[in-house]
A and B are shown apart, each in its own frame.
Chain A
Amino acid sequence: ETGVTQSPTHLIKTRGQQVTLRCSSQSGHNTVSWYQQALGQGPQFIFQYYREEENGRGNFPPRFSGLQFPNYSSELNVNALELDDSALYLCASRGPNEKLFFGSGTQLSVL
């Protein structure tokens, strides 16, 4: 519906592991951003990429990193997973007038 797809939809990892989440944005949307949403909270901005370069970052440690590819896909990588990393991770592509189009998210559980 929004043209933004994320995979996987659900994921279970253990503390200390690494994870890669994927997102495919709408064609022509050069900006992609990633958010972390804990239960009962609003989405928290992790970082943003524009034309394959990071151009904005929220208050997240360096073990959260990302990549954006020329085909409008992107990745969020998290190293050394902690229990508090359990959350819904949302990818959004940015359309005209700063409007965001979200994917349906990846629910990550860290045990």
Chain B
Amino acid sequence: RKEVEQDPGPFNVPEGATVAFNCTYSNSASQSFFWYRQDCRKEPKLLMSVYSSGNEDGRFTAQLNRASQYISLLIRDSKLSDSATYLCVVNFLTGGGNKLTFGTGTQLKVEL
């Protein structure tokens, strides 16, 4: 089983739609969680951290369920500019220090 699993997509949605991405992780000792956005042929950029109580940043809402080892990202009123790959990232402490593990990413295409 992969340490971090995501549905690769692609998710093709019309502009204005609401779309949700899910991510599961296998290590129950995971400590912190993030969503990154990556545009084609570019470096990943932090979209938002994910907190246990859930958090919102404009049109983006992130949720964490530690019991189910599950993270989600909800995008409301999607824009053409939201088209990108969304990477789920999990950080956990190993004997050798912190280790950040990326999922394979979920591709989103927002269409007119």
A interface list, Cβ under 8 A from B: 2, 33, 35, 40-45, 48, 50, 54-58, 90, 97-105
Contacts and interface: CB of A to CB of B under 8 A. Distances in A.
B59 to A, nearest CB: 21
B32 A42 contact: no
Interface of B: 4, 6, 32, 34, 36, 42-46, 49, 87, 89, 91, 94, 96-105
Q: Is the interface of B mostly helix, strand, loop or mixed?
A: strand
Contact of B91 (A44, A55, A90, A98): A98
A10 B16 CA distance: 37
A56 B94 contact: yes
B99 A45 contact: yes
Q: Which 9 A-B pairs have the closest CB atoms?
A: A55-B97, A42-B102, A102-B43, A56-B97, A56-B96, A42-B104, A43-B102, A104-B43, A42-B105
